[in-house]
Amino acid sequence: MKNIVILISGRGSNMEAIFRAMQAESWPARIAAVISNRSDAQGLDFARLHGIPAFSVINTAFSSRNEFDVALAAEIDRHSPDLVVLAGFMRILTPSFVEHYSGRILNIHPSLLPSFPGLHTHRQALEAGVKVHGATVHFVTADLDHGPIVAQAVVPVLSGDSEQSLSTRVLAQEHVIYPRAVRWFVEEKLKLENGLVHTLDNAEQHLIQEGCQ
Ligand code: GRF
């Protein structure tokens, strides 16, 4: 049984998708804790309602990024994580924090990395005029929004799309690929070699939404 600790900052819909898939598919895993850097993160309510231990480590209570990361890691480590899952966790992490969880920390970013790292990815995609967009699950490294890619989902960019309509289309696919990637990790099906991630059973690591083919 693998322990997963999920970090959120807000809505927590990816956390919810992972929780629901885990329940429905009986993974050999449990969500040991959900931790937020904001006490008002909506996702904390979902976690508590479903009996998942939920905690806050409030970043504004610390005078430096490093102090916050040390406190956050202490809270995470109380739950003996095999895997740390960043699910809409809106904090830049220090290299020593990332190093501590090396090879056992995943993130989802709402773009087809390496395109559009950082914030406002849907706006960046619309402004660049790309015709496909999507989301990426990757191992976290000290390089923000980079790191070995585990899975990607591709969606079309349609004429008339707004940031909102595009983000809704991408989010629906995030809810498919993130649970899938976490399941691969807990079932020990991911192999990280020379910075590239493969699945042991050659499962498809991409998802292409209709309209892109
Ligand atoms: C998602 O789009 C995720 O890719 C990004 O932040 C958003 C979080 O949404 N990192 P939620 O909190 O999982 O609903």
Over residues 91-119, the mean pLDDT reads: 97
pLDDT cut 90: percent of the chain above it = 95
Q: Is 109 a catalytic residue?
A: yes
User: Is 211 found in the same domain as 130?
Assistant: yes
| Residue span of the structural domain in which 29 resides | 1-101
Residue 176 has pLDDT above 80, yes or no: yes
Centre of ligand 1 from the C-alpha of residue 151, in Å? 16
Residue 211 has pLDDT above 90, yes or no: no
Over residues 34-48, the mean pLDDT reads: 98
Task: Report in angstroms the alpha-carbon separations of 19 from 25, 46, 98, 114, 190.
Answer: 10, 10, 24, 28, 20
Residue predicted with more confidence, 171 or 211: 171
Over residues 159-164, the mean pLDDT reads: 97
d(CA 138, CA 184): 13
* pLDDT the model gives residue 212: 77
User: Is 133 found in the same domain as 95?
Assistant: no
Could you say which of 79, 109, 133, 146 is catalytic? 109
* Boundary-marking domain end, from 62, 80, 101: 101
User: Is 155 found in the same domain as 208?
Assistant: yes
Over residues 123-147, the mean pLDDT reads: 96
Query: What confidence tier does 213 reach under pLDDT thresholds 50, 70, 90?
Result: low
The per-residue pLDDT of the chain, averaged, comes to 97
Over residues 97-107, the mean pLDDT reads: 98
**Domain tally, the chain:** 2
User: Is 112 found in the same domain as 94?
Assistant: no
* Boundary-marking domain end, from 101, 127, 154: 101
d(CA 151, CA 14): 15
Query: What confidence tier does 144 reach under pLDDT thresholds 50, 70, 90?
Result: confident
Atom 2 in ligand 1: which residue has the minimum CA distance? Answer: 110
Atom 9 in ligand 1: which residue has the minimum CA distance? Answer: 88
* Boundary-marking domain end, from 101, 125, 147: 101
Residue 112 has pLDDT above 80, yes or no: yes
CATH number of the domain to which 64 belongs: 3.40.50.170
User: Is 138 found in the same domain as 60?
Assistant: no
User: Is 85 found in the same domain as 115?
Assistant: no
User: Is 22 found in the same domain as 1?
Assistant: yes
What pTM was computed for the model? 0.97
User: Is 62 found in the same domain as 42?
Assistant: yes
User: What is the amino acid identity at position 73?
Assistant: A
